[in-house]
């Protein structure tokens, strides 16, 4: 009988859209890690003494640490001495001062990725900082933002021009001793984005950083620091891609968010690092530490992430709810296909009174993908009347993939409440057949069902990116059935 | 329109249909009745292209084309519609969006332009009135949280929107109270037309009080054991299926027209 064979266990054959390499001359330090390399990185960036000291403290601490292995992921040992810790496009002497000085090859790269850096072509209402390998290559709309007192620049520039802010806030949420990968990042981080929104200012546009790993055998260690001063608001988005290479590449970033009294930070990620091929060769190891602190009362931090890339994703964007009435949110879609592995979730640490947190996690596993949600909800003794609601749903496509849920709930205050709901479902032959009986193709049916599953998360994304995320999910699932 | 010839079907190696012959012309309403496990739903599923059924013998022609060569979505686009016995829930997918995607897939296949959101909204609202479905259900997720009756009415709504050539209603009456049954039947009657054929698969006679069929076929043990007009259904109600199951088939329905 000639019906379409739609065995759901048929594997994902997906084309990675951003796998090209930009032929560009790079200034790359030799592989290996020691104090000299760290001094070299710091010197290349002409950093003040306090930065070098901080890096060296982190490095010395890192030497005492062991790579963590508690996550539900498996990979061969990483040789930290085989990685190059700094790579930058060779530009004339210094970083370019304006877009006109940016290497046209780089601009073309970002255009290919759909991230135009020329301001007149830029999506209205989005300012972009582009980080290529280890350095920020361009930041748009800087002047316009400066009129409002908003600082949006590369981390390196912030170290030069706003050392007091950096000194005051760097490591105040993720200390250099925090964990193996964050400590490594603290020692060797090369660049990243810096945002400061002054008191009472509502940032009028989306701020966005676009990360691109290009060079081979390098790690990317960027550091993002966002400070929202009292009563301010900022929405920030990051996107990430990398070329297709056979070897694994390490990405160990740190993101710190600080929301002071009455401030709101909305942080959205669309992560599409190269995931490796069907056999699991190559791909990015994404070991990322992201944490925000609602330092003041009535502040709010909201994380939204769409994770479709990387061979391994290990990240737990978290919120420390210190101020009273603070709100923490985490909305996540994580998709694993082929041999991808994701162990992701969040930590909501309730310290203040009447603090509230919401966690909505949607895991989708296809092919041989392994998808784990790991979350900690902690209500400390001071967290009177704190509330948490957690919902984590898993969707399986086929029968060779896996979904796992590891919720940790610690409630040490009798007036605090935590709710946890979890579901696991298989994308049903019934659902597919129903859609196809109505005339939809199988791929449209899968994409419709998966998008429906993720709806609660997508509606948290800024509009331009929600469309992007849906498309990305569609592309990632192409050929996942059939 | 539809010509089923000597259809044999197995599922997981178990034989369900043992040589079905049936012809359905445009404008006709056929009721297929039969006891539980007689193969009624199998027939409906095979017509729609469900993959786990294996056709071991026979053929099905739909408008002269070999239906068994067509994928389920092709059949749908060619005008075959199955109202499911158990309509499927699709969380997070808006009902209107779903129907619009389906209609536009069919229109594209026919070489017609897509309907935009506004045109479609008008269309679906008109059709919702036709089947007396609460407009609020239009903006909910497909079948999610619908009552049994709402799900069945939603199937009829989809049928009204997609305007199939051949509609197969698989136990659409099951689980409905009398009021819901009347509403559904009323909707089906409004969709009867000279260029549309309808196959009603049902266990009970009562639906046929409201949707009066042109022909009634009794399926038992994977064969059509009796064909007749609506009086056959009444006779069945009186005597039960045992009446036909016991004896030899009196008239095997090969193109039978009473």
**∠ CA A17-A20-A24 to the nearest 5 degrees?**
150
Among A433, A452, A456, the residue with its CB nearest the CB of B93 is: A452
Range of the domain at A223: 26-431
Cβ-nearest to B88 among A1, A431, A454: A431
Q: What is the pLDDT of residue A454?
A: 86
| In-domain check, residue A268 | yes
In this predicted structure, the answer to whether residue A429 has a pLDDT above a threshold of 70 is: yes
* Low-confidence winner among A34-43, A217-226, A273-282, B90-99 (lowest mean pLDDT): A273-282
Is the separation of the CB atoms in A18 and A272 below 8 Å?
A: yes
N-terminal to C-terminal alpha carbon distance within chain B: 19
Q: Which range has highest mean pLDDT (A102-106, A242-246, B186-190, B240-244)? A: B186-190
Structure tokens at A335: 């998709």
Q: Does B13 touch chain A (CB under 8 A)?
A: no
pLDDT tens sequence across B58-106: 999 999 999 999 999 999 999 999 999 999 999 889 999 999 999 999 9
More confident residue, A169 or A446: A169
Nearest by CB: B72 against A4, A449, A453: A4
- pLDDT value at position B179? 86
Mean pLDDT over A250-267 rounds to 94
Chain A touched by B73 (CB under 8 Å): yes
Among partner residues B68, B92, B102, which is closest to A439 by beta-carbon distance? B102
Q: Which residue of B has its CA nearest to A427?
A: B90
pLDDT band at residue B6 under the 50/70/90 scheme:
very high
| pLDDT tens, position by position, B104-118 | 999 999 999 999 888
Q: How many domains does chain A have?
A: 1
Is A436 within 8 Å of B72 when comparing Cβ atoms?
Answer: yes
- Which of A2, A3, A448, A466 would you mutate first to test chain B, the one with the most B CBs within 10 A? A3
* Cα–Cα distance, A369 to B200 (Å, whole number): 43
Chain A nearest-CA distance from B53, in A, is: 8
Q: What percent of chain A has pLDDT over 90?
A: 41
Instruction: Determine the Cα angle at A269 with ends A264 and A271, to 5°.
Output: 170
Domain boundaries, given as residue ranges, for chain B? 2-246
Q: What local confidence, expressed as pLDDT, does residue B31 receive?
A: 94
- Report how far apart, in Å, the C-alpha atoms of A465 and of each of A77, A192, A309, A377, A470 are: 35, 21, 16, 28, 8
Return the bridge partners of A240, or none. A211, A271
In this predicted structure, what is the pLDDT of residue A21? 65
Cβ separation A438–B68 shorter than 8 A = no
Answer whether residue A441 is part of any domain.
Answer: no
CB-closest option in A5, A444, A454 to B101: A444
> Is residue B258 scored above 60 in pLDDT?
no
- Of A383, A302, A373, A389, the closest CA to residue A341 belongs to A373
Q: Is the predicted pLDDT of residue A123 greater than 60, yes or no?
A: no
Shortest CA gap B54–chain A (Å) = 6
Q: How close, in Å, is residue B238 to chain A by CA atoms?
A: 36
Continuous segment of H or E residues that includes residue A52: helix A49-62
**Distance between first and last Cα of chain A:** 16
Residue A472, domain member (yes or no) = no
The answer on pLDDT for A450 being more than 60 is yes
CA dihedral sign of residues A32, A36, A39, A43: negative
In sequence order, which residues have a C-beta less than 8 Å from that of residue B209 and are 6 or more positions away?
none
Q: How confident is the model at residue A6 (pLDDT cuts 50, 70, 90)?
A: very low
Bridge partners of A440? none
Q: Choose among A2, A428, A435: nearest Cβ to B69.
A: A2
Chain B nearest C-alpha distance from A433 (Å): 7
Of the pLDDT bands very low, low, confident and very high (cuts 50, 70, 90), residue A455 is: confident
- Asked whether the beta carbons of residue A453 and residue B106 sit closer than 8 angstroms, the reply is no
- Name every chain A residue with its beta carbon within 8 A of the beta carbon of B105: 438-441, 444
Quick check: B16 contacting A, CB < 8 Å?
no
Q: Do A437 and B92 touch (CB under 8 A)?
A: no
Higher pLDDT among residues A192 and A356, named by residue:
A356
pLDDT value of position A401: 84
pLDDT, tens digit, for every residue of A367-420? 888 888 999 999 999 999 999 999 999 888 878 888 889 999 999 999 999 999
Predicted confidence (pLDDT) at residue B251 exceeds the cutoff of 60: no
The superfamily CATH assigns to domain B2-246 is P-loop containing nucleotide triphosphate hydrolases (3.40.50.300)
**Residues of chain A in Cβ contact (below 8 Å) with chain B:** 1-6, 428-431, 433-442, 444, 448-449, 451-456
CA distance A19 to chain B (A): 32
Whether residues A453 and B91 touch (CB distance < 8 A) is answered with yes
Do B55 and A1 lie within an 8 Å CB cutoff? yes
Q: Which of A2, A438, A440 sits opposite B68 (nearest CB)?
A: A2
Arithmetic mean of pLDDT, A282-298: 92
Q: How far apart are CA A468 and CA A436, in angstroms?
A: 25
Q: What is the mean pLDDT of chain A?
A: 82
Query: Percentage helix, strand, coil, to 5, in chain B?
Result: 40, 30, 35
Interface residue B76 vs chain A (CB under 8 A): yes
Would the CB atoms of A1 and B54 count as touching at under 8 Å?
A: yes
A452 and B141: CB-CB below 8 Å? yes
pLDDT at A275: 76
pLDDT classification of A17: cutoffs 50, 70, 90: low
Interface contact B145, partner A, CB < 8 A = no
Mean pLDDT of chain B: 89
Distance of CA A204 to the CA centre of its chain: 23
A388 belongs to a structural domain: yes
Residue A73 distance to chain B (closest CA, Å): 30
* Residue-by-residue DSSP string for A27-43: EEPPS--SHHHHHHHHH
A chain contacts of residue B84, beta-carbon cutoff 8 Å: 434, 437
What's residue B252's pLDDT? 42
Q: Taking 60 as the threshold, does the pLDDT of residue A97 lie above it?
A: no
Share of chain B above pLDDT 90, in %: 64
Q: How far apart are the CA of A241 and the nearest CA of chain B, in angstroms?
A: 29
Least confident of A124-128, A176-180, A221-225, A262-266: A124-128
pLDDT in tens, A210-224: 766 666 556 678 899
The answer to whether B114 contacts chain A (CB < 8 Å) is: no
Evaluated on CA atoms A424, A429, A430, A436, the torsion sign reads positive
Which of A430, A440, A448 is the closest to B88 by Cβ?
A: A430
Q: Is B90 on the interface with A (CB under 8 A)?
A: yes
Q: What is the ipTM of this complex?
A: 0.92
pLDDT confidence of A19, banded at 50, 70, 90? low
pLDDT at A189 over 80: yes
How many angstroms separate the CA atoms of A298 and A352, rounded?
10
pLDDT at B244: 72
Q: For residue B124, what pLDDT is reported?
A: 92
Residue A472 confidence (pLDDT): 66
Contact B206, B181 (CB under 8 A): yes
Which of A10, A431, A437 is best to mutate for the B interface (most B CBs within 10 A)? A437
Query: Which residue is closest to A443 within chain B, CA to CA?
Result: B73
> Is the pLDDT higher at B249 or at A233?
A233
Contact B71 A436 (CB under 8 A): yes
Whether residue A449 and residue B48 make contact (CB cut-off 8 A), yes or no, is: no
Q: Average pLDDT for residues A44-64, to the nearest whole number? A: 93
Question: What integer pLDDT is reported at residue B109 of this predicted model?
Answer: 95
Q: Which residue has the tokens 């036909």?
A: B244
What are the pLDDT digits (tens) for A152-165?
888 888 999 999 99
**pLDDT (mean) for A76-89:** 81
Contact A448 B93 (CB under 8 A): yes
């Amino acid at each position: 009988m000639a019906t379409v064979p739609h065995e759901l266990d048929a594997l994902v054959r997906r084309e990675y859209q951003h796998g090209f390499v930009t032929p560009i001359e790079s200034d790359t330090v030799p592989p290996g890690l020691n104090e000299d390399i760290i001094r070299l990185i710091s010197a290349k960036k002409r950093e003040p003494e306090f930065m070098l000291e901080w890096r060296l403290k982190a490095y010395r601490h890192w030497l005492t640490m062991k790579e963590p292995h508690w996550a539900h992921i498996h990979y061969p040992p990483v040789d930290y001495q085989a990685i190059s810790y700094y790579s930058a496009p060779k530009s004339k002497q210094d970083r370019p001062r304006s877009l006109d000085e940016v290497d046209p090859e780089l601009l073309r790269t970002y255009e290919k990725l759909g991230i135009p850096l020329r301001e007149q072509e830029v999506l209205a209402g989005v300012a972009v900082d582009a980080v290529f390998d280890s350095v920020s290559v361009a930041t748009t709309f800087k002047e316009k933002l400066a009129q409002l007192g908003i600082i949006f620049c590369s981390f390196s520039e912030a170290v030069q021009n706003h050392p007091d802010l950096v000194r005051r806030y760097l490591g105040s949420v993720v200390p250099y001793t925090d964990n193996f990968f964050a400590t490594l990042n603290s020692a060797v981080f090369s660049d990243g984005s810096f945002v400061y929104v002054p008191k009472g200012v509502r940032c009028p546009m989306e701020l966005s950083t676009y990360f691109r790993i290009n060079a081979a055998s390098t790690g990317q260690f960027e550091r993002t620091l966002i400070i929202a001063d009292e009563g301010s608001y900022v929405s920030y988005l990051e996107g990430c891609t990398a070329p297709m290479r056979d070897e694994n590449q390490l990405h160990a970033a740190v993101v710190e968010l600080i929301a002071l009294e009455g401030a709101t930070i909305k942080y959205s990620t669309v992560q599409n690092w190269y995931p490796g091929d069907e056999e699991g060769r190559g791909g990015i190891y994404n070991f990322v530490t992201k944490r925000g602190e609602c330092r003041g009362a009535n502040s709010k931090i909201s994380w939204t992430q769409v994770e479709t890339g990387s061979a391994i994703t290990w990240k737990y964007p978290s919120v420390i709810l210190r101020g009273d009435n603070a709100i923490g949110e985490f909305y996540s879609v994580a998709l694993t296909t082929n041999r991808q592995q994701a162990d992701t979730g969040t930590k909501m640490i309730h310290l203040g009174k009447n603090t509230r947190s919401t966690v909505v996690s949607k895991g989708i596993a296809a092919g041989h993908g392994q998808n784990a949600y790991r979350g900690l909800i902690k209500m400390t003794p001071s967290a009177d009347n704190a509330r948490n609601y957690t919902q984590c749903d898993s969707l399986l496509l086929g029968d060779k993939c896996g979904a796992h849920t590891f919720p940790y709930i610690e409630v040490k205050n009798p007036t605090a409440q935590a709710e946890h709901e979890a579901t696991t479902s298989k994308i049903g032959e019934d659902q597919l057949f129903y859609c196809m009986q109505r005339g939809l193709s199988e791929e449209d049916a899968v994409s419709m069902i998966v998008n429906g599953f993720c709806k609660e998360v997508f509606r948290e994304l800024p509009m331009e990116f929600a469309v992007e995320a849906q498309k990305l999910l569609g592309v990632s699932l192409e050929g996942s059935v059939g | 329109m539809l010509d089923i010839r000597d259809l044999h079907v197995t599922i997981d190696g178990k034989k369900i249909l043992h040589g079905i012959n049936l012809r359905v012309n445009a404008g006709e309403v056929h009721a297929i009745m039969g006891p539980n496990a007689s193969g009624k739903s199998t027939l409906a599923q095979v017509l729609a292209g469900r993959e786990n059924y294996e056709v071991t013998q026979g053929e099905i022609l739909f408008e002269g084309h070999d239906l068994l060569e067509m994928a389920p979505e092709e059949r749908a686009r060619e005008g075959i519609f199955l109202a499911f016995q158990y309509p499927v829930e699709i969380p997070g997918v808006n009902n209107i969006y779903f129907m619009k995607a389906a209609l536009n897939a069919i229109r594209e296949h026919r070489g017609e332009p897509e309907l935009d959101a506004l045109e479609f909204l008008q269309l679906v609202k008109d059709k919702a009135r036709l089947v007396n479905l609460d407009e609020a259900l239009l903006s909910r997720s497909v079948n999610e949280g619908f009552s049994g009756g709402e799900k069945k009415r939603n199937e009829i709504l989809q049928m009204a929107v997609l305007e199939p050539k051949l509609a197969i209603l698989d136990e659409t009456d099951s689980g409905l109270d009398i009021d819901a049954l009347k509403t559904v039947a009323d909707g089906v009657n409004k969709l009867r037309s000279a260029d549309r054929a309808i196959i009603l698969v049902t266990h009970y006679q009562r639906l046929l009080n409201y949707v009066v069929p042109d022909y009634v076929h009794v399926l038992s043990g994977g064969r059509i054991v009796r064909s007749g007009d609506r009086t056959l259904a009444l006779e069945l109600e009186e005597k039960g299926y045992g009446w036909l199951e016991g004896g030899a088939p009196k008239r095997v329905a090969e193109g039978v027209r009473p």
